[in-house]
Amino acid sequence: MRTTIRIDEELLKRAKQRALQQGKTLTAVIEDALRESLAKKKDYQKREPVRLATFAGEGLQPGVNLDDFADLLDLMESDCDSD
């Protein structure tokens, strides 16, 4: 089937070079790339959802600021010192 598409000039240039290197037509190179791209998307959709382990607890402790890395580090180090 014939169709018209617009391709970035640099991308087209690279595709033509690849076709010459592989001894294929430009159409074959584009079809192969499109098949590969669509296959990756399909494989991605087949994956099982990731199940993350969760732990019971009391949630965020008072005075903990998750936006301040230095404070978090100080808090973690002080917990280690008390052991």
pLDDT one-digit tens code per residue, 18-71: 999 999 999 999 999 999 988 886 656 667 888 888 878 777 777 778 888 888
Q: For the whole model, what pTM was predicted?
A: 0.49
* CA gyration radius, the chain: 27
* Residue 29 contacts residue 18 (beta carbons within 8 Å): yes
Query: For residues 62 and 58, what is the distance between their CA atoms, to the nearest angstrom?
Result: 10
